[in-house]
Amino acid sequence: MEYLNILLNELYKIAFVIIPVLVSVTLIVWLDRRIWGAVQKRKGPNVVGPFGLLQTIADALKYILKEIIIPASSNKIIFILAPVVTMTLALIAWAVIPFSNELVLADINVGILYLFAVSSLGVYGIIMGGWASNSKYPFLGAIRSAAQMVSYEVSIGIIIINVLLCVGSLNLKDIVNAQQSLWFVIPLFPMFVVFFISALAETNRPPFDLPEAEAELVSGYQTEYSGMMYAMFWLGEYANILLMCAMGAILFLGGWLPPLDIFPFNEVPGPLWMVLKILFLFFLFALVKAIVPRYRYDQLMRLGWKILLPFSLFYVVLTASYLFYFDKLPVKVF
């Protein structure tokens, strides 16, 4: 009976994380479209439900009711597993995201490494889907995505080192609490910009959506997918976008901490600040998609390896030198 209670308690915690993420994905897809509409001087979704809020639910129902077609020449097992892997990895990463000092599913000491590992594994779902389709366009899209994600994950890893040098801990709650007096976005603003650009590339968002470039690859690695299997890729992609926004909020924007230490701001609950910061970063993601034209693939690789990576390495040396010279290194770093 005791083991059953423990199991039910853990399942409750997991549902407490997964259900809000899935609901949030539905809402940010609507927000994404509304922002594009506003930038391009059109209305966006505004017919299905009040302000078009039910448009995403209508789209989801369409995916559920559509037939799932598996190509005869595909590797059927891997073809089916690919969207499952993509969505599962996108959801399990949220287990270590803290929304306050108490509101976190798994408070582990190496939370940032866990996030980095899970986000790195996300490319496997895309590679599996592209290869198992046994079609040239999905395969080319999968190759592009693998090269792109590996390239920009290197920069993200080095950016995280800057934050860890300032904190001396891999725990996400420690990273947030270290920003009580000053958010890291101020001293590490260049790294925040590089992180934002790398997050766009990591999640295949415009202007770096080369794995899904419809002018060249039809729909990239998703070309042969339909129905709910396509929707699982879609869910995984938007859950990853929200995850990158959450990482940006934790690493640079003080997580659940209020922007100013004055009474009215302190009255607002910490989790609400965290949600607002995630929405702010997502707003920037949506603006970029509506404004910036798509890169060529050689430009994408050049930006990652020849500009962002050397600059990130230089900034690590600069940060470490400053902290060491002024004796501000955290004790745990030694």
pLDDT per position as a tens digit, 132-147: 988 888 888 888 888 8
Q: Which tokens hold the place of 279?
A: 């929405």
Is it the case that residue 130 has pLDDT exceeding 90?
no
Q: Looking at residue 139, what is its pLDDT?
A: 85
Buried b (16+ CB within 10 A) or exposed e, 78-87: ebbbbbebbb
Is it the case that residue 184 has pLDDT exceeding 60?
yes
Q: Looking at residue 52, what is its pLDDT?
A: 86
Taking each helix axis from N to C end, the angle separating 227-252 and 55-65, rounded to the nearest 10 degrees, works out to: 140
Considering only residues 126 and 216, tell me which one the structure prediction assigns the higher pLDDT. 126
Q: Looking at residue 218, what is its pLDDT?
A: 64
Segment 43-64 mean pLDDT: 86
Measured CA angle at 134 (ends 241, 118), to 5 deg: 30
Segment 22-45 mean pLDDT: 87
Q: Looking at residue 315, what is its pLDDT?
A: 93
Q: Looking at residue 333, what is its pLDDT?
A: 44
Segment 266-288 mean pLDDT: 87
Reported pTM? 0.89
Name the nearest CA neighbour of 274 among 260, 289, 284, 259: 259
Q: Looking at residue 212, what is its pLDDT?
A: 67
The residue written with tokens 């270290």 in the block is: 178
Considering only residues 2 and 73, tell me which one the structure prediction assigns the higher pLDDT. 73
**215 confidence band (pLDDT: 50, 70, 90):** low
Burial (CB count within 10 angstroms: exposed 0-12, middle 13-18, buried 19+), residue 127: buried
**Summary mean pLDDT of the chain:** 85
Q: Hey, which of 5-19, 56-70, 205-219, 250-264 has the most confident mean pLDDT?
A: 56-70
The residue written with tokens 């990576």 in the block is: 309
Segment 43-48 mean pLDDT: 85
Q: Looking at residue 311, what is its pLDDT?
A: 93
Is it the case that residue 216 has pLDDT exceeding 70?
no
d(CA 301, CA 3): 51
Q: Looking at residue 334, what is its pLDDT?
A: 39
**193 confidence band (pLDDT: 50, 70, 90):** very high
By the 8 A CB rule, do 225 and 266 touch?
no
By the 8 A CB rule, do 198 and 115 touch?
no
The residues, ordered by sequence, that sit 6+ positions from 30 with a Cβ below 8 Å of its Cβ are 45, 52, 53, 55, 56
Q: Looking at residue 196, what is its pLDDT?
A: 94
